[in-house]
A = this chain, B = another copy of it.
């Protein structure tokens, strides 16, 4: 066998490994859908559990379909011959067509993994962004209005700002850094959630007339715990896959460091949120600890590659402290977010984007701020418009009676735990 043949074989093997790495990471990110589903279903009351489950599995499916139909071609227009206005009939062949060419292009060194593995990795990201919204609007939003919003966010709002950064748009050109999406995914989801919550209002009974905040405890904390651990696991794919390539010593080392830093940031966030809740509230608040871990994960997402593991722990720890303070502050502002999603993904997402400047020499504080403001403004304003139109047409809030009885019966016609709870 001559050297040219062997070299071609090595290139093909490299291509296979990178594709497989991408698919494994994508599967881990898909698994995050289960994480959000469990986290949110554990943190709502029993009477609203079946509906939040339905929202989560529904939004994931809608995200996949909308992103395939239009979102991916908005975000990565160059990958489609027909551009963003391709007709329905060519979608499949569009994805397939560009892939069929891989066999040729890989030989020429242009492609280093299957385009379809990239699509798979991207499609589970948009679902993650949308999952963030469902928790914040839990326990009082109409199911089908939520799904209509999901269609617009996953098909249009998310892809546009995703194009700005990851589709080689103006934020990328300018110098905004967001390795795996503290801004593009997490703050994006939080901004859309905040817009929804502002138009939706708080749950009945959450805020008393004298300014007091009433705790509305979640019904099933083991679900919240496993949800958090699922997200923690899935985040190895989320951040680790964002290196986009594992072949080559530098890439392999980078992916390994990302795994370590992702893990350390989550650990730091959990420990410091737990300590702060212990000293602030006098108790080791499990829900704060869980949100602390998620905050650590969001914080490291913007730059998991340049910090040392020790620095990653600190970045996560600050995230853990911030999330506790943010949850308390939002409640003082009467912004009712049953699962803390706006704090975890929004406030800490901003922290993560700013923290890039501490460890990455290429970061520019100005461009980080431009990125934060522009992504937030785009997602918040467009989401506000969509929520507003939905509110004025089909309505976004269930009736008071339905909210009292629980949205499960009203929206889904069944109960999540028919034998565990009394008639309420």
Contact = CB atoms under 8 A, between A and B. Distances in A.
B12 A249 contact: yes
A326 interface: no
A120 B233 contact: no
A219 B248 CA distance: 50
A392 B6 CA distance: 65
B19 A246 contact: yes
Q: How many copies does the complex hold?
A: 3
A16 B255 CA distance: 10
A17 B20 contact: yes
Contacts of A54: 274, 284, 286, 289
Interface in A196-250: 217-223, 225-226, 228-230, 232-233, 236, 240, 246-250
Contacts of A37: 222, 225-226, 229
A375 to B, nearest CB: 26
Interface stretch (A92-100, A336-344, A360-368): A92-100
Contacts of A290: 57
A256 B19 contact: yes
A24 to B, nearest CB: 6
A212 B341 CA distance: 44
Contacts of A236: 23, 27, 30
A174 interface: no
Given A27-B236, A116-B260, 12 more contacts: A3-B3, A7-B9, A12-B248, A13-B14, A13-B17, A23-B236, A23-B256, A58-B289, A60-B267, A91-B309, A96-B308, A103-B250
23 contacts: A6-B7, A9-B14, A12-B247, A19-B246, A19-B253, A30-B233, A37-B229, A38-B226, A53-B286, A54-B289, A58-B289, A62-B271, A68-B310, A95-B308, A96-B308, A102-B249, A114-B256, A115-B256, A120-B256, A217-B418, A218-B418, A220-B417, A221-B416
Q: Which 10 A-B pairs have the closest CB atoms?
A: A92-B308, A283-B413, A61-B267, A114-B256, A34-B229, A116-B256, A92-B310, A117-B256, A19-B252, A64-B267
